[in-house]
């Protein structure tokens, strides 16, 4: 663990005695080392476990103070996912429920003494490996949980620099258009109907992308000619069009990046003129709380994906979370 020496803040007095301009043993105070990790690996683990515990309790809270409790310990995608989970009905939401891990391992922390500061940690709950991102916005702000993403079975992340040294991090407010290129390309690649020319910068053979594509094709087949079925993914959690996204990037040891990005998935079923009334397949009927529609149904999910972007090669999804956020029908 690297420790920095606190410099004395009082003004130094110049001493002159008998023509001497200095005194043995008196010298300039050492400058603060700003190149190391923003927090030690051990301290980062303690902070992570505390924050996740508080976030898990807040996400389960009910009553008039529930929103306030979530806002105190959650931020970014984690807050939006937790708020959506509290406001909609879903028969199985275990995938987005926060649980307190027995222990955590810090993978990377932001480099330097500036703000904001970030921690990337991992834990295992019920045989599922989780990635956790914590962010502290300023010296007077506590760390909050920015995102938690379950990793796909068998997925791995390339090495980071030594946690004692810290890594370069692009914080949410510093994310630019180029930083989200892989997320946008992935969104195009997993759309339904599939694009005529899939983006070549991303792979879609991971379990999450494959499941999305398989389920979309199955849904379209069940609806047949009675309805048109589309799936779109947009960067950000603001709706059907791309908007400023909640995202963060950690630099990998090889010069690539791990990007945690928020997206919105929009499924739309539109009845054709061959169907005066459309009976929805079981899952859609459950979400819409209605077995039939006469025009259309739109289902929105919030998504958080972890993308590994190697310095050379295709980006790929190593973890993802999906939470129902809105259902509308007519």
In order, the DSSP letters of 116-158 are: SEEEEEEEEETTEEEEEEEEE-STTS--EEEEEEEBPTT---P
What's the pLDDT tens digit per position in 121-166?
A: 999 988 899 999 999 999 999 999 999 999 998 899 999 998 889 9
Q: pLDDT for 78-112, tens place per residue?
A: 999 999 998 886 555 555 678 888 789 999 999 99
List the one residue out of 288, 294, 290, 291 whose CA is nearest residue 273: 294
The answer, yes or no, to whether residue 242 has pLDDT greater than 60, is: no
Residue 208: burial class (beta carbons within 10 Å; 0-12, 13-18, 19+): buried
pLDDT the model gives residue 281 = 66
Least confident span in 74-88, 126-140, 186-200, 226-240: 226-240
112 neighbors 38 (Cβ within 8 angstroms): yes
* Residue owning tokens 């053979």: 205
Bridge partners of 327?
299
For the segment 40-72, what is each residue's pLDDT rounded down to a tens digit? 999 999 999 999 999 999 998 888 899 999 999
Check whether 201 has a pLDDT greater than 60: yes
Q: What pLDDT was estimated at residue 99?
A: 80
Question: By percentage, how much of the chain surpasses pLDDT 70?
Answer: 83
Q: Tokens for 234? A: 């947009």
Higher model confidence: residue 151 or residue 36? 151
For residue 279, give the H/E element and its range.
strand 278-279
pTM, entire model: 0.85
């Amino acid at each position: 663990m690297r420790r920095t020496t606190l410099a004395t803040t009082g003004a130094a007095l110049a001493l002159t005695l008998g023509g001497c301009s200095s005194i043995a043993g008196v010298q300039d105070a050492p400058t603060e080392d700003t190149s190391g990790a923003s927090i030690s690996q051990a301290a980062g683990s303690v902070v992570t476990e505390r924050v996740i515990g508080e976030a898990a309790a807040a996400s389960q809270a009910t009553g008039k103070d529930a929103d306030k409790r979530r806002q105190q310990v959650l931020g970014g995608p984690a807050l939006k996912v937790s708020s959506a989970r509290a406001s909609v009905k879903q028969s199985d939401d275990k995938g987005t429920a926060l649980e307190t891990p027995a222990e955590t391992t810090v993978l990377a922390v932001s480099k330097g003494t500036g703000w904001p500061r970030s921690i990337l940690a991992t834990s295992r709950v019920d045989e599922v490996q989780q990635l956790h991102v914590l962010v502290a916005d300023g010296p007077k702000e506590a760390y909050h949980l920015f995102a938690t993403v379950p990793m796909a079975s068998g997925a791995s992340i390339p090495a980071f620099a030594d946690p004692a040294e810290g890594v370069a991090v692009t914080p949410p407010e510093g994310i630019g258009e180029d930083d989200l290129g892989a997320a946008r390309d992935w969104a195009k690649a997993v759309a339904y109907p599939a694009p005529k020319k899939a983006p070549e910068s991303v792979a879609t053979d991971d379990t999450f992308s494959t499941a999305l594509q398989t389920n979309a094709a199955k849904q379209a087949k069940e609806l047949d000619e009675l309805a048109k079925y589309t799936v779109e993914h947009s960067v950000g959690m603001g709706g059907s069009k791309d908007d400023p996204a909640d995202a963060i990037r950690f630099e990998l040891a090889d010069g690539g990046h791990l990007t945690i990005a928020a997206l919105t998935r929009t499924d739309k079923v539109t009845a054709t003129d061959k169907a005066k009334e459309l009976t929805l397949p079981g899952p859609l009927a459950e979400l819409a709380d209605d077995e039939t529609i006469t025009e259309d149904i739109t289902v929105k999910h919030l998504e958080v994906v972890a993308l590994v972007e190697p310095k050379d090669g295709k980006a790929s999804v190593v973890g993802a979370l999906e939470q129902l956020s809105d259902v509308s029908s007519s």
